[in-house]
Amino acid sequence: MNRLLTLFSLLIVLSLACSTGTPAISAPQDQSALSGSVLFQDDFTRPVSGWDRFMSTEGTMDYDAAGYRMLVNSLNTNFWSTPHKNFADVRMEVDIGKLGGPDENRIGLICRFTGDDYYFFMISSDGYYGIGIYTGGQAVLLGQSEMQLNSNIKKGLAVNHLRADCAGNTLTFYVNGFQVVSVQDDRLKSGDVGLLAGTFTQPGVDVIFDNFVTLKP
């Protein structure tokens, strides 16, 4: 977290002056791992660790100053990136910081990404959270009709720590150490893990991710 705060401050200064490719899905890799075992981790200091590198007028996804940065310039658009892994049950954690753009945004984690479908766990920089599934070309919230406000989410230009558990048919979301929601869904069994950022009606969402880790729950 301290490293991200330093990185975050540096990139704020610099900022003021649709994911590409489909991963090959193999057999899940975590079946024999012990609870708490690290399945995958990345501090983004090596720009060859497998995440997507993408740049266009719609935005950018790339390693940046020992973090992983997503800049989304299109309206109502999600970018997502994965390290091209395949797991069944996971506990994911990451530090995220908003660098610029609107507070009405989407920032979060995804699990069981199949190349088309995935579960998502997201917050916005104006203090809202949502958990859901993207399937059949549509995103649907689970257990809620709209994103909900939560006081544990740090607003604006701040760093938040996210944790998302995908264990069996139970999906649980934590923000800054506090559980905000837990739901059940059994449609997706395994797939890739990853990161998500997106816009609503304003472009320019700019976020940095660091200290990503995937554990056996």
- Residue pLDDT, tens place only, 177-204: 999 999 999 999 999 999 999 999 999 9
Q: Is the pLDDT of residue 211 over 70?
A: yes
Placement of tokens 């069981």 in the chain: 112
> Average per-residue pLDDT in the chain?
89
Domain spans of the chain? 2-18+32-215
Domain 2-18+32-215's class? mainly beta
Q: Which helix (H) or strand (E) holds 16?
A: helix 2-16
**Cα–Cα dist 155/159, whole Å:** 9
Residue 87: name the closest of 164, 178, 156 by CA: 164
State the burial class of residue 109 (Cβ atoms within 10 Å of its Cβ: 0-12, 13-18, 19+). Answer: buried
- Residue pLDDT, tens place only, 125-147: 999 999 999 999 999 999 999 99
- Residue pLDDT, tens place only, 67-94: 999 999 999 999 999 999 999 999 999 9
Q: pLDDT value at position 34?
A: 73
What sign does the dihedral 63-111-18-71 (CA atoms) show? negative
Q: pLDDT value at position 36?
A: 86
Q: pLDDT value at position 8?
A: 43
